Chains A and B, each alone.
Chain A
Amino acid sequence: MTPPSPSPSPSIEHSVARAYLVSIVSVAVAIVLVGALMATVVVVRRDDHEALAVAQTMASELGPHDQDPKLDALVSEELDEQRWFHRQIEVWRGATRIGATGPGRLHDFGTTDGCHSGRLGSTLTRFCSLGANSLRIVIASPMAPLFVAELPLVLAIAAVAALAVLIFSLLSRRLIRRSLEPLRRFEARLAALAPLDGDVQEHWGASEIDTLALTFRSLLRRIADTVEREHRFVSNAAHELRTPLTRLRGQIELALAEAQLGPEPSRRLTLAVRTCEELARSTDALLALARDELGRRETVELGEVAAEVLRTLTDAERARITLTDPSVAAVRGDEILLTLAVRNLVDNALKYSDGPIELCIAGCTIQVIDHGRGIPPDEIEDVRRPFVRGRDRQETRGTGLGLALADHVADLHGGELLLENHQGLHAILKLPPWTPVAVREPLG
């Protein structure tokens, strides 16, 4: 039985196409509005010409001798209808103004006959005269572009165009946002994802992201499988190594206890036991390096860590170490890992220096200070990597795991390992201070 599959999510591609369409519409609306404005200008200008033509026709029809006041009134009325916006029209017969909407500009043209046009001040003026006593007509339109002359109208049209563009772009932005919202949620989910046991749901409301989520799921599963396999491998390897080591060590110890051996064979067998211990420690270090999270967060006193490290050293090694230990320096973490880390730092100091070594605990910091050659500055970062050893240290015994392990353990605890050269190496393991965890079980 397959579960009923929800309707397929819309694709982002479609949503974006829709938003694109909305933008095109908005631009088109703006173009239409601006076009209308331009058209108005053209119409007004053409109308000027028409008005003049009408006036001209009338003037020529009426002639110089038809001095009928009634006709004059008709002419004046006729021309009055041609008034438009800020256009001014004057009609004169001889020196008498028989109709006018403007301040009177005829005198500017004197007694010239015929028709001509020209600029006069801030107006574009057309003048037509058919003789001294005939009609004279002046049409003056404002020279300023129409949008200045008709500012409120122009502003209104522009505002409508701008508003249209604004509304449409807001709309398309919302559309795009809404179509990208699943992507944002998907990103937030990935950011909050637990590295190994997290999962991603299948339906996000966008088909592209649904596909991405499926790919991610299978990727996460593959990673989890790989890590799981690796953990199993390390754990099996550790088991496989420790079992024969237990036999080996047990047999040697029994031989030491039961056989009547001379001092030289005894010494050799004791050394063999120490090698077993070393091997076991390397196994622990490898296992610790393979861990990527802290299993336990128990209370650990750094003084106990130092004491445990000292306990596992030989008397000769212990004699080189001075311990400074305040009575209380608690941190939260894994005591065994911390002991392993400090043991490795101390081993390092023992191997790569000759003089005394100080083991200092101050606050939540544990320092191992030797008086050897230190680490060359250009190698100080490299030596934190597993199996990397300093150039001048190749002849000394060691695996190159020590500093890598200490660094990793510091990391696991949310602390850090500082390596500083001051007439010897100062290896400083800094850990966050102990904090109580919330009480979960009921009191009483």
Chain B
Amino acid sequence: MRILCVDDDEETLDVVRRALERDGHTVLAARDPASALTALASARVELVVLDVMLEHASGLDLCAQLRKDGLEAPILFLSAAGKVDARIAGFDAGGDDYLAKPFALKELVARVRALGRRGPSVRARVVQLGMVRLDFDARRATAGDSEIPITQREWDILRALADGQGRVVPFDQVLETAWGEATESGRASLEVIVSRLRKKLDAAAGRPVIRTTRGLGYALEPA
């Protein structure tokens, strides 16, 4: 994959570049929005890794601008502002995932891989499953007037399944989207969470909403 990395800290940029290159990607590096735009104009990139706080500019603004200019490649935010704040703004600006600094390189590589598999960022914002309405922008699930409690992790899983658009999404792909890595313990947690999601959604939707294909993965059953 050709990846554009934008970070104002040279050493971080170097480490990220090296880690991604080791995973087989081609990396374009930029330290400010201007050189990021130049790089984007010169080559087609399939993914952007973007620092939220650049030295004299906001990564969030750059992200919003890139989206306005029609960039469809997934954007992964890196944030040193603390996990709590990073997530709040990142999705609003049009980002697809975020990673709080300091991160494990393994996790960075896994998330980049997961986002790359997901492809260009054309995503359903609202999915209707029988009576249940999933609003991914507001991260809000409703059945008629009543809200259904859905956690962030459950949203990540629903997001991965919704991106499959009815096709089976492999377990490992769901895991990498939701946890950034596919491990044995993650697989067990995924099973627990999917069974809980079914409990929450099936009754409200009036029918099973998540199909399991044994040994392969999960799929959403849209209306």
Most B CB within 10 A of own CB, among A243, A287, A296: A243
CB distance from B52 to the nearest CB of A (A): 10
Bound form: Cα–Cα A437–B148 in Å: 10
**Interfacial chain B residues near A243, Cβ < 8 Å:** 9, 12, 80, 101
Bound form: Cα–Cα A299–B147 in Å: 11
Does B195 count as interface, using CB distance less than 8 angstroms?
A: yes
Bound form: Cα–Cα A437–B140 in Å: 10
Asked if A238 contacts B199 (CB within 8 A), the reply is no
Asked if B192 contacts A249 (CB within 8 A), the reply is no
Bound form: Cα–Cα A242–B12 in Å: 11
Does A10 count as interface, using CB distance less than 8 angstroms?
A: no
Closest to A257 in B: B22
Bound form: Cα–Cα A283–B152 in Å: 23
Bound form: Cα–Cα A328–B83 in Å: 25
Closest to A300 in B: B151
Dominant secondary structure of chain B at its interface with chain A:
helix
Closest to B146 in A: A436
Q: List 20 A-B contacts (CB under 8 A).
A: A245-B102, A246-B12, A246-B101, A248-B102, A253-B106, A254-B18, A254-B19, A257-B105, A277-B102, A283-B82, A299-B150, A299-B152, A311-B186, A335-B151, A336-B87, A337-B84, A434-B149, A436-B146, A436-B149, A441-B138
Asked if A295 contacts B192 (CB within 8 A), the reply is no
**Interfacial chain B residues near A250, Cβ < 8 Å:** 11-12, 15-16, 19, 102, 105
Asked if B83 contacts A336 (CB within 8 A), the reply is yes
Given contacts A239-B53, A439-B142, whether A246 and B81 have CB atoms under 8 Å apart is: no
When the two chains form the complex, which single residue of B19, B84, B142, B149 contacts A334, counting CB atoms closer than 8 Å?
B84
Asked if A235 contacts B147 (CB within 8 A), the reply is no
Does B135 count as interface, using CB distance less than 8 angstroms?
A: yes
Closest to A301 in B: B151
Asked if B15 contacts A304 (CB within 8 A), the reply is no
**Interfacial chain B residues near A307, Cβ < 8 Å:** 189, 192
Asked if A439 contacts B102 (CB within 8 A), the reply is no
Closest to A328 in B: B196
**Interfacial chain B residues near A304, Cβ < 8 Å:** 151, 153, 189, 193
Asked if A246 contacts B80 (CB within 8 A), the reply is yes
Residue-wise, chain A 185-207 has the 8 Å CB interface mask toward B (1 for contact) of 00000000000000000000000
Asked if B82 contacts A284 (CB within 8 A), the reply is yes
Bound form: Cα–Cα A301–B140 in Å: 15
Asked if A235 contacts B81 (CB within 8 A), the reply is yes
**Interfacial chain B residues near A277, Cβ < 8 Å:** 102
Does A327 count as interface, using CB distance less than 8 angstroms?
A: yes
Given contacts A247-B9, A299-B151, A304-B151, whether A327 and B82 have CB atoms under 8 Å apart is: no
Bound form: Cα–Cα A108–B103 in Å: 124
Asked if A296 contacts B15 (CB within 8 A), the reply is no
Closest to B84 in A: A336
Bound form: Cα–Cα A219–B9 in Å: 40
Does B44 count as interface, using CB distance less than 8 angstroms?
A: no
Closest to A235 in B: B81
Asked if B192 contacts A327 (CB within 8 A), the reply is yes
Other CB < 8 Å A-B pairs besides A257-B105, A298-B152, 18 of them?
A235-B81, A235-B82, A243-B9, A245-B101, A246-B9, A246-B15, A249-B102, A250-B15, A250-B102, A254-B15, A254-B18, A254-B105, A299-B151, A301-B153, A311-B179, A327-B195, A441-B135, A443-B144
Does A350 count as interface, using CB distance less than 8 angstroms?
A: no
Bound form: Cα–Cα A420–B81 in Å: 35
Asked if A328 contacts B22 (CB within 8 A), the reply is no
Tally of B interface residues using CB under 8 Å? 48
When the two chains form the complex, which single residue of B81, B106, B138, B196 contacts A238, counting CB atoms closer than 8 Å?
B81
**Interfacial chain B residues near A238, Cβ < 8 Å:** 80-82
Contacting B at CB under 8 A, from A328-342, are: 328, 330, 334-337
Contacting A at CB under 8 A, from B141-190, are: 142, 144-147, 149-154, 179, 185-186, 189
Asked if A299 contacts B149 (CB within 8 A), the reply is yes
Does A303 count as interface, using CB distance less than 8 angstroms?
A: yes
Contacting B at CB under 8 A, from A226-279, are: 235, 238-239, 242-243, 245-251, 253-254, 257-258, 273, 276-277
Asked if B15 contacts A242 (CB within 8 A), the reply is no
Does A280 count as interface, using CB distance less than 8 angstroms?
A: yes
Does B104 count as interface, using CB distance less than 8 angstroms?
A: yes
Does A288 count as interface, using CB distance less than 8 angstroms?
A: yes
**Interfacial chain B residues near A327, Cβ < 8 Å:** 192, 195-196, 199
**Interfacial chain B residues near A336, Cβ < 8 Å:** 83-84, 87
Bound form: Cα–Cα A336–B144 in Å: 30
Bound form: Cα–Cα A258–B15 in Å: 12
Closest to A436 in B: B147
CB distance from A401 to the nearest CB of B (A): 15
When the two chains form the complex, which single residue of A253, A283, A298 contacts B105, counting CB atoms closer than 8 Å?
A253
Does B207 count as interface, using CB distance less than 8 angstroms?
A: no
Bound form: Cα–Cα A436–B9 in Å: 42
CB distance from B145 to the nearest CB of A (A): 6
**Interfacial chain A residues near B154, Cβ < 8 Å:** 299, 301
Asked if A246 contacts B102 (CB within 8 A), the reply is yes
Contacting A at CB under 8 A, from B187-223, are: 189, 192-193, 195-196, 199-200
Q: 8 nearest interchain CB pairs? A: A250-B15, A436-B147, A242-B80, A299-B149, A246-B102, A245-B102, A246-B101, A330-B149
Closest to B86 in A: A336
**Interfacial chain B residues near A328, Cβ < 8 Å:** 196, 199-200
CB distance from A61 to the nearest CB of B (A): 112
Does B92 count as interface, using CB distance less than 8 angstroms?
A: no
Does B43 count as interface, using CB distance less than 8 angstroms?
A: no
Closest to B188 in A: A307
Does B88 count as interface, using CB distance less than 8 angstroms?
A: yes
Asked if A437 contacts B88 (CB within 8 A), the reply is no
Bound form: Cα–Cα A395–B18 in Å: 41
Given contacts A239-B53, A330-B149, A437-B147, whether A246 and B103 have CB atoms under 8 Å apart is: yes
Bound form: Cα–Cα A288–B193 in Å: 27
Closest to B139 in A: A298
Does B85 count as interface, using CB distance less than 8 angstroms?
A: yes
Bound form: Cα–Cα A336–B185 in Å: 20
